[in-house]
Amino acid sequence: MRSSIVQSIQHLKLADEFMNDFIRQAPMSRGGLIFLNYSRKIRWILTDIITYPHFNDEVRAGVKVEIESDAFSVQAIHDKIPLLNPEQREMLEELLEDMLAGKTITISIKTNEGAADTDKEN
């Protein structure tokens, strides 16, 4: 169920971003004015989700974080996955499972020559 809520928020945000892009391109057009109204309604829906009285503070905080996140990042990640070879996709899946389990992840990035350039920790 959490995935459905997150995806619905992401889709609302994407729709709002595309509507706002159209509004910037044609602000005084009939479509621009209609989309401005729709954009306001989307923002009202997102605000209503955050303020829903039956959600506890933890759920509300999680929803806020999702609303404030980059709407295009999930799609950007999704678009890059097919570019990986099967072994890399398997490694990525394992990495994601470990991250979701709350494990500390250390990534060592190496150049083609094999020397470590950067160490990142999450």
**Residue 21: is its pLDDT beyond 90?**
yes
**Residue 112: is its pLDDT beyond 90?**
no
For 68-87, letters b (16+ CB in 10 Å) and e give: eeebeeeeeeeeeeeeeeee
pTM of the shown model: 0.68
Q: What is the C-alpha to C-alpha distance for residues 24 and 122, in angstroms, rounded to an integer? A: 37
pLDDT of residue 115: 47
Question: Each residue of 73-106: pLDDT tens digit?
Answer: 888 998 999 999 999 999 999 999 999 899 998 8
pLDDT of residue 1: 54
pLDDT of residue 105: 87
The chain-wide mean pLDDT, for the chain, equals: 88
Q: H helices within 51-84, ranges in order?
A: 57-68, 73-80
> Per-residue pLDDT averaged across 59-71, rounded?
87
